[in-house]
Amino acid sequence: MIVILSKDISIHDKELIRSLLQNNGYKVREQLFGDDLLFSTSGKGQINKRELEILPGVARVAETTKPYELTSRETKAEDSIVCVGPVKIGGERITVIAGPCAVESREQIKEIAFAVRESGAVLLRGGAYKPRTSPYSFQGLGMKGLEYMKEAGEATGMPIVTEVVSSEIAVDMKDLVDMFQIGARNMQNFELLKKVASLGKPVLLKRGPSATMEEWLLSAEYLLAGGTKNVVLCERGIRTFETFTRNTLDISAIPVIKALSHLPVIVDPSHAIGIRAHISAAALASIAAGADGLTIEVHNNPDKAFSDGPQSLYPEQFEKLMRDIESFSPVLGKELLRLPKETPKKNDLSGVWSTAFSLVGEKVAFSGRSGAFAERALINAFGEDMLRLPVTTFSAVFDAVLDGSAVFGIIPIENSLAGSIHENYDLFLRYPDNVIVGEIKLRIVHCLMAMEETNIENIKTVRSHSQGFAQCREFLDKHSEWNLEIWPTTTDAVQSIVKEGEGALAIAAIASEAAAKANNLKILKAGIENNPQNYTRFVIIARRQDGDRQLLPPGMENTAPNKASLVFSVKDEPGSLYECLKILSGEGINLSKLESRPILGQPWNYLFYVDVTIPPDQKVFERACKELKSKSEKFHFLGSYHGV
């Protein structure tokens, strides 16, 4: 049983609760769990739960049916997010840890650190102390290796995670590591778990080669009970009768553990498979199964690695894997986590560089309310902790960015089924001081929802945004008797049902699953979009800055822009559009989108909206824009950004 105490509990009330529990046969441990102060109990005591709940200073009482109380989702229903410096593990982002099996030299760890950082890794792994099966194998460089690793981590801005093998060494390592790793062999080394827990650092706990899921979670319980607030579970394969691979990757453990526990779960496909050629496939399968991240072994010269060379990816293989993860993430409604910093030069080991700007206290604007698809895109781009500014219209998002109420805005621009959202394209011309600085693609799953008492047979009216109707046209065509009402946003449609209460028993809305949960509505049917390949492209906007320094979203400053959006009009004469497009073709610039829109107030005159790929040589693109501007009647540069 867990007793969560109120944040304003008095010392008197706390001791009263402790005495009551002890007098009823419980052993009581007081500890911090995240931001909560709680009493965790053990023993064969008996007490009426209701008697506890009504006591002054008790926030709630959680009774678990599992022996791992603190780890159990019964104690904490929402997912935990573990912070390691600026890196967050869990939530809606995929976190990738990478580096060599062992630190072999200062130059080796430095070179690999820069390589994996450039490809998108956010935590640096590497072993300074190596527990090996053979006493004659390389055992690591010890504290010297750890110092090399810390130096490389600071140079690249990546926190470091490394294995701790004994209680004595743990104390010496404390000030050099950002996250302790408990290796598979030590998963049930309970004295080590207690010592590491007492140091208060985040811990990555690997599953033992023969451990059951319950044993794994009980080891995590040791860490949480001992004082560690941040624990990440790592599936790395278990020992079975199969000998072709190093271990057998237990993919099924990922969704099962996430159902049993609130802790983040990542996967180590390197140790699970042990064969370089198959690691990327296992990594992608793990992400598909719901893993919150990966830890991957990467080496600049695997054939000469001191340990685990056959399972270490070459840097170019790791880079391809990261590109595949980035492309795959939107299918799962997630985003690949990247560090919000620029990569320093390789000869710069002066320490951690600072971010270009701080988002503390700043807001990002989106159109809609809680549960809107735009809010999900915002979370994927900026993280769960980002302050949000919900507004009622798309133009209000532009206004908020322009007047400084928000530092960024999220705007849907195109849907893979319904096409371009033309009203938002037009807004870029009305707000020339706002510019596109980023891009997010989000899979859209629409749900039909209503009050708990409503059945699909009772529906007479359905409410949603026009895009919601367009993307669910095939489903709606089967119910031609329904009256369709267009609302400013899908979440406005949802909230209208809540406000009308019993008067809305014959009304349904089309919106996201998150909107249904946020408003306590029943989902009558999920996945009603025309095609499961339904994605919306959102752009991130910011106020246009003077000079060369444009404000960019976190994680996008370190990536060169590879895409740009332009708008231009041409003279009303034969071949004028051809001449403009020929400029782009002549410079080898790929045209990924071309769409015309009528010019407001000028009937039968058109603007052309263009998306192009920026070539590696930025000067080529600048030259093409300059020439295109001279050939067109009107020219607007909407922004350059990293396209996904």
Domains defined along the chain, listed by start = 2-62 (3.30.70.1140), 92-336 (3.20.20.70), 447-526 (3.40.190.10), 559-644 (3.30.70.260)
pLDDT per position as a tens digit, 596-632: 988 877 777 888 999 999 998 889 999 999 999 998 9
**pLDDT band, very low/low/confident/very high, at 519 (cuts 50, 70, 90):** very high
Tokens 């009772």, residue?
458
What are phi and psi for residue 612, nearest 5 degrees? Answer: -130, 155
pLDDT per position as a tens digit, 398-442: 999 999 999 999 999 999 888 898 889 889 988 989 999 999 999
How many whole angstroms separate alpha carbon 460 and alpha carbon 504? 10
**pLDDT band, very low/low/confident/very high, at 25 (cuts 50, 70, 90):** confident
Structure tokens at 483: 């009256």
Averaged pLDDT, 324-331: 87
For the ranges 65-69, 401-405, 472-476, which has the lowest average pLDDT? 65-69
What is the reported pLDDT for 356? 41
Using the predicted structure, report yes or no on whether residue 278 has a pLDDT greater than 70: yes
Using the predicted structure, report yes or no on whether residue 16 has a pLDDT greater than 70: yes
Using the predicted structure, report yes or no on whether residue 343 has a pLDDT greater than 50: no
Alpha helix (H) residue ranges in 344-455: 373-382, 394-403, 422-430
What are phi and psi for residue 304, nearest 5 degrees? Answer: -115, 15
Contacts of 204-208 spanning 24+ positions with Cβ under 8 A: 204/161, 204/179, 204/180, 204/232, 204/234, 204/266, 204/295, 205/231, 205/232, 205/233, 205/234, 206/181, 206/182, 206/234, 206/236, 206/268, 207/233, 207/234, 207/235, 207/236, 207/238, 207/250, 207/253, 208/184
Which position has the higher pLDDT, 522 or 86? 522
What is the reported pLDDT for 271? 95
What is the reported pLDDT for 349? 32
Using the predicted structure, report yes or no on whether residue 456 has a pLDDT greater than 70: yes
Strand, coil or helix: what is 469?
helix
Pairing of strands 93-99, 179-182: unpaired
**pLDDT band, very low/low/confident/very high, at 559 (cuts 50, 70, 90):** low
Using the predicted structure, report yes or no on whether residue 8 has a pLDDT greater than 90: no
pLDDT per position as a tens digit, 133-145: 777 677 789 999 9
Over pLDDT 70: what percentage of the chain? 94
pLDDT per position as a tens digit, 91-143: 888 999 999 999 999 999 999 999 999 999 999 999 998 776 777 677 789 99
| pTM of the model as a whole | 0.71
Averaged pLDDT, 59-79: 83
For the ranges 17-21, 138-142, 298-302, which has the lowest average pLDDT? 138-142
Torsion (CA) 520, 449, 515, 78 in degrees, nearest 10: 50
Pairing of strands 231-235, 203-206: parallel
The dihedral through the CA atoms of 302, 304, 306, 308 has a sign that is positive
How many whole angstroms separate alpha carbon 240 and alpha carbon 256? 19
Active site positions, annotated: 536, 538
Using the predicted structure, report yes or no on whether residue 373 has a pLDDT greater than 70: yes
Q: If you count them, how many residues does the chain have? A: 644
What is the reported pLDDT for 48? 79
Using the predicted structure, report yes or no on whether residue 221 has a pLDDT greater than 90: yes
Burial (Cβ within 10 Å: 0-12, 13-18, ≥19) of residue 339: buried
What is the reported pLDDT for 347? 38
How many whole angstroms separate alpha carbon 457 and alpha carbon 168? 68
Averaged pLDDT, 634-641: 90
Using the predicted structure, report yes or no on whether residue 344 has a pLDDT greater than 50: no
Using the predicted structure, report yes or no on whether residue 547 has a pLDDT greater than 60: no
Averaged pLDDT, 202-222: 96
Angle (deg, nearest 10), helices 213-225 and 190-198? 40
What is the reported pLDDT for 350? 30
How many whole angstroms separate alpha carbon 471 and alpha carbon 451? 23
CB 261 within 8 A of CB 232: no
Over pLDDT 90: what percentage of the chain? 63
For the ranges 188-202, 250-264, 478-492, 540-554, which has the lowest average pLDDT? 540-554
Q: In the 8-state DSSP scheme, what is residue 521?
A: P
Q: In the 8-state DSSP scheme, what is residue 289?
A: T
Instruction: Name the average pLDDT for the chain.
Output: 89
Using the predicted structure, report yes or no on whether residue 345 has a pLDDT greater than 70: no
**pLDDT band, very low/low/confident/very high, at 351 (cuts 50, 70, 90):** very low
Structure tokens at 448: 């039909």
pLDDT per position as a tens digit, 249-266: 999 999 999 999 999 999
